[in-house]
């Protein structure tokens, strides 16, 4: 016999309102970054060179990297850029995420 317990959730997360145009742009960017991430993962598995079109798209979407950056490093860089487009609940500070993101960006650009 299954027993169901109801829990009352206190301090539920709340997100601020977002304009539809901004929402669409944010989601389109995330979808494009997901597609690039998939391509990078395939390159990483195969061990081949990263296609120029992928590198151009990454730069256009704000992923900074130095020449001869590996696919694995670019995958991490995409995660950092994706974080910028993720919404955070009201009252949650992004300090920790931005610190990690800036450290990774600095490491990849050097």
Residues whose CB falls within 8 Å of the CB of residue 14, separated by 6 or more in sequence, listed in order: 89, 90, 91
DSSP 46: H
Residue 50 banded pLDDT, cuts 50, 70, 90: very high
DSSP 12: -
60-69 per-position pLDDT tens digit: 999 989 988 9
Residue scoring higher pLDDT (102 or 37): 37
Instruction: Tell me the pTM.
Output: 0.65
> What does the domain layout of the chain look like in residue ranges?
22-86+94-109
18-44 per-position pLDDT tens digit: 788 888 888 899 999 999 999 999 999
What percent of the chain has a predicted confidence (pLDDT) above 70?
A: 65
């Amino acid at each position: 016999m299954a027993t169901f317990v109801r829990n009352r959730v206190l301090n539920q997360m709340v997100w601020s309102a977002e304009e539809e145009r901004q929402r669409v742009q944010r989601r389109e960017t995330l979808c494009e970054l997901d597609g690039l991430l998939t391509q990078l993962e395939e390159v990483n598995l195969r061990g081949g060179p990263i296609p120029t079109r992928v590198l151009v798209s990454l730069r256009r979407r704000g992923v900074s990297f130095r020449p001869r950056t590996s696919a694995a490093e670019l995958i991490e860089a995409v995660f950092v850029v994706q974080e910028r487009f993720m919404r955070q609940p009201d009252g949650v500070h992004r300090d920790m995420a931005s610190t990690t993101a800036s450290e990774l960006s600095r490491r990849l650009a050097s």
